[in-house]
Amino acid sequence: MSRSAALFDRAQAVLPGGVNSPVRAFRAVGGTPFFVASAAGARLTDVDGRTYVDYVCSWGPLILGHAPPAVLAAIRDAAARGWTYGAPSGAEVELAELVRRRMPAVEMVRFVNSGTEATMAAVRVARAATRRDLILKFDGCYHGHGDGFLVKAGSGVATLGLPDSPGVPAGVAGLTLSVPFNDVAAVEEVFQRRGADLAAVIVEPFVGNVGFIPPEPQFHPTLRRLCDRHGALLIFDEVMTGFRVAPGGAQERIGIRPDLTTLGKIIGGGMPVGAYGGRGDLMRLVAPAGPVYQAGTLAGNPVAMAAGLATLAATATPDFYEALERRTARLVAGIADAARRRQVPMTVGHAGSMWGVYLAPGPVRNYAEAKATDTTLFASWHRAALARGVFLPPSAFEAAFVSSAHTDADIDFTIEQLDAALGEARAR
């Protein structure tokens, strides 16, 4: 028995499903998950000594790769001064100012410990500001595991085939409306019926939790227009896309200014962190400035702030993003070429260094179309790729990522191995 298999056996006795986050269990792709011993640059090494080129990147935050020297030094320096204070530190102010410079719509920001905390708090602020209860989300978009978000959610809910989640009261679920992403007519119909009751629209600007789905050109402008007309707030959930698809996130890339933004992942450089922010008048509703209560013992943790500052400093130039996007585009094009040669229906896409693959003819514009992907073939492809040293997300319904640690040689190796793995998977 491999060491990973032995660890997984032990884990299942003490952790639900053997993991601390569902998709890690590999149930959608089969086999036993590998357990990581170490990581550096673009590679993970498991407890059995096998090494993989990593395109999961801890599900997005590692835009510089694993353990980049500048971030590692910042973490060590911060930890040496104490790793939690229960009192303010200067790093919180510095990171907030840096986020505001990169995202002008985020006039004020509150740091929290996870993306789920950020989205829950942003919705609370929206409801307080508008004095309305309903929120509108989009099928397959995942905004964390808060009760109100587990209505037609993506991510692990889609991967495991769960129909939302038990334990969510019907009264809470009833406050969330959901329509297909990219469906302008459906959004207009909801606003026509319930516009006076909608506190907010919350959306992943580029969907990353049912694979990768880009917005159609008029989708976000329509959301902005309808929110303005009906007095609802527009919330961009940029936990995944923030500082990933452009220097100022998806809102810079598509040219739409949301009222509130949620962040995570990259702003902590891989440390546990989240944030929500937006218009100053809205954020001044948050305690202690205002009556909307939200707090967190470890919020603004000095180690996470240091990691975030170092990460954003290293990604500060347009050249950084241009180089990363070129490399991602070459990877995606190589995978698409392999699929054409193998006569495998495939839809691929990317924005910045965020990318995704569907084993289905395109275009894929929403969750319903994403579900047409061949999950059986994807599972075989994933296993074959892993055996060849390439780690793709262990789900047909997750986006993948490229980091600045991935070299041109890594991209060439990946294209070659994924081509061969696709041939093996198709032959099974």
Which tokens hold the place of 117?
């905390």
- C-alpha pair distances (Å), 91 with each of 97, 166, 254, 297, 309: 10, 40, 30, 16, 8
Contact 373, 358 (CB under 8 A): yes
**Radius of gyration of the chain measured on its C-alpha atoms:** 21
Q: Report the predicted TM-score, pTM, of the whole model to 2 decimal places.
A: 0.95
In terms of domains, do 119 and 245 share one?
yes
- C-alpha pair distances (Å), 163 with each of 151, 153, 171, 204: 8, 9, 17, 20
Q: How confident is the model at residue 159 (pLDDT cuts 50, 70, 90)?
A: very low
In terms of domains, do 309 and 238 share one?
yes
Instruction: Answer yes or no: 293 catalytic.
Output: no
Instruction: Answer yes or no: 367 catalytic.
Output: no
In terms of domains, do 40 and 123 share one?
no
Q: How confident is the model at residue 150 (pLDDT cuts 50, 70, 90)?
A: low
* H/E stretch holding 24: none
Please tell me which residue in 265, 321, 358, 371 is annotated as part of the active site. Answer: 265
Average pLDDT over every residue of 373-387:
97
Task: List, as own/partner pairs, every contact residues 326-329 make where C-beta atoms lie below 8 angstroms and the sequence separation is at least 24, other chains included.
Answer: 327/353, 327/402, 327/406, 327/408, 327/411, 328/352, 328/353, 328/354, 328/355, 328/402
Structural domain ending residue among the three candidates 267, 297, 314: 314
In terms of domains, do 57 and 112 share one?
no
In terms of domains, do 277 and 404 share one?
no
Percent of the chain at pLDDT > 70 equals 96
Please tell me which residue in 55, 142, 358, 367 is annotated as part of the active site. Answer: 142
* H/E stretch holding 190: helix 184-194
pLDDT in tens, 200-253: 999 999 999 999 999 999 999 999 999 999 999 999 999 999 999 999 999 999
How high is the pLDDT of residue 151?
Answer: 61
pLDDT in tens, 324-379: 999 999 999 999 999 999 999 999 999 999 999 999 998 999 999 999 999 999 99
* Distance in Å from the first CA to the final CA of the chain: 25
Query: Which position has the token pair 């599900």?
Result: 59
Contact 176, 163 (CB under 8 A): no
From the list 185, 227, 225, 184, the residue with the least C-alpha distance to 202 is: 227
Contact 222, 254 (CB under 8 A): no
Structural domain ending residue among the three candidates 272, 287, 314: 314
DSSP state of 151: S
Query: Residue 98 is part of a domain; what is its CATH number?
Result: 3.40.640.10
Q: How confident is the model at residue 174 (pLDDT cuts 50, 70, 90)?
A: confident
The DSSP string of 242-274 is: TTTSSTTHHHHHHT---SEEEEEGGGGTTSS-E
Q: Alpha-carbon torsion 81, 87, 89, 95, what sign?
A: positive
Report the C-alpha gap between 250 and 244 in whole angstroms.
8
Does residue 148 have a pLDDT over 90?
Answer: no
In this predicted structure, which of 8-12, 21-25, 116-120, 325-329 has the lowest mean pLDDT? Answer: 21-25
- E strands, 9-147, where? 36-40, 43-46, 51-54, 108-112, 134-138
In terms of domains, do 218 and 305 share one?
yes
pLDDT in tens, 274-300: 999 999 999 999 999 999 999 999 999
In terms of domains, do 151 and 214 share one?
yes
Instruction: Answer yes or no: 265 catalytic.
Output: yes
All residues at 6 or more sequence positions from 175 whose CB lies less than 8 Å from its CB, including other chains: 133, 134, 135, 148
Task: List, as own/partner pairs, every contact residues 99-104 make where C-beta atoms lie below 8 angstroms and the sequence separation is at least 24, other chains included.
Answer: 99/263, 99/267, 99/275, 99/277, 99/312, 100/277, 102/243, 102/247, 102/248, 102/249, 102/312, 103/242, 103/248, 103/249, 103/251, 103/252, 103/261, 103/277, 104/248, 104/257
How high is the pLDDT of residue 160?
Answer: 45
Q: How confident is the model at residue 163 (pLDDT cuts 50, 70, 90)?
A: very low
Structural domain ending residue among the three candidates 267, 285, 314: 314
CB atoms within 10 A of CB 417: 18
In this predicted structure, which of 13-22, 37-46, 153-162 has the lowest mean pLDDT? Answer: 153-162
Average pLDDT over every residue of 75-92:
97
In terms of domains, do 223 and 286 share one?
yes
Domain range for 98:
69-314
- C-alpha pair distances (Å), 213 with each of 65, 86, 207, 398: 24, 40, 5, 10
How high is the pLDDT of residue 169?
Answer: 75
State how many domains the chain has. Answer: 2
The DSSP string of 374-418 is: -HHHHHHHHHHHHHTTEE--SSTTS-EE--TT--HHHHHHHHHHH
Does residue 162 have a pLDDT over 70?
Answer: no
Does residue 161 have a pLDDT over 60?
Answer: no
In terms of domains, do 199 and 242 share one?
yes
Phi and psi for 24 in degrees, rounded to 5? Answer: -65, -15
Average pLDDT over every residue of 308-335:
97
Does residue 165 have a pLDDT over 80?
Answer: no
Q: How confident is the model at residue 385 (pLDDT cuts 50, 70, 90)?
A: very high
Report the C-alpha gap between 21 and 8 in whole angstroms.
14
Angle between helices 375-387 and 408-427 (to 10 degrees): 130
From the list 267, 246, 266, the residue with the least C-alpha distance to 255 is: 246
Please tell me which residue in 237, 276, 358, 367 is annotated as part of the active site. Answer: 237
In terms of domains, do 240 and 298 share one?
yes
Contact 139, 179 (CB under 8 A): yes
Residue 348's SS3 state is strand
Which tokens hold the place of 63?
């835009």
In terms of domains, do 45 and 175 share one?
no
Strands 51-54 and 233-237: unpaired
How high is the pLDDT of residue 428?
Answer: 79
In terms of domains, do 299 and 373 share one?
no
